[in-house]
Chains A and B, each alone.
Chain A
Amino acid sequence: MICRRQVADLIPKQADFEENALKLTVIGNGNSYFIQAFREDTGFQGEIYTDPTRQSYKLLGFKKDVTSSLNMKTLKTGLKGLIEGHSQKSIQGDPWQQGGVIVITPEQSVPFFYVNQEAGDYAPPNTILMENKGRHRK
């Protein structure tokens, strides 16, 4: 439910990302045939890919442990997501894996990088936009 809420939060901001020459892309780590269902469930129309090996997650240092996935705060966040209608179906991917955000330019510089600290923690779309607004060419 937390992942669904995270992606649902992106949808109203998609046009803002495009206006600022930022290509918004979601990457998960489940099997590729779960992408279509995830797209239909979230309504996200942007690009979605998967890295089933999670090598990219490892290289970027994204967390992977039980305590960052299951604690009182993550349970509260999960409950909030459930109340807001972002119910979770079966998990397609590694349940202990955390994610993050990286912005990479064609010159391979990294103007923004965020490592999620626990389930339910993620960089708000407005923060990503503010940090990158007007900085990239179309």
Chain B
Amino acid sequence: MKPTLQQIERLGQLDIQDEKGTVFKLKTLWKEQTAVLIFVRHFG
């Protein structure tokens, strides 16, 4: 089931890190452009 708008708003407030460990809010990924987020199982 597709996430609701409320769930997307909560998702956007969660933190992610880049390879340097810099923390961003997930929302920055789709703030200006449509984002295709591929969630992989692990980095293995």
Contacts and interface: CB of A to CB of B under 8 A. Distances in A.
A105 B34 contact: yes
Contacts of B41: 2-3, 69, 93-95, 97-99, 116, 119
Given A23-B36, A101-B37, A128-B36, A113 B16 contact: no
A110 B41 CA distance: 21
Interface string A35-49: 111110000000111
Contacts, number: 173
A93 B42 contact: yes
Contacts of A110: 2-3, 8
A104 B8 contact: yes
B17 A59 contact: no
B38 A101 contact: yes
Interface string B13-44: 01111111100101001111111111111111
Given A3-B42, A32-B21, A38-B43, A103 B16 contact: no
A102 B43 contact: no
Given A32-B19, A33-B21, A23 B42 contact: no
Q: Give chain A's interface secondary structure class.
A: mixed
Nearest to B21: A32
Given A10-B38, A28-B40, A39 B19 contact: yes
Contacts of A37: 43
Contacts of A136: 33-34
A18 to B, nearest CB: 10
Nearest to B24: A49
B33 A26 contact: no
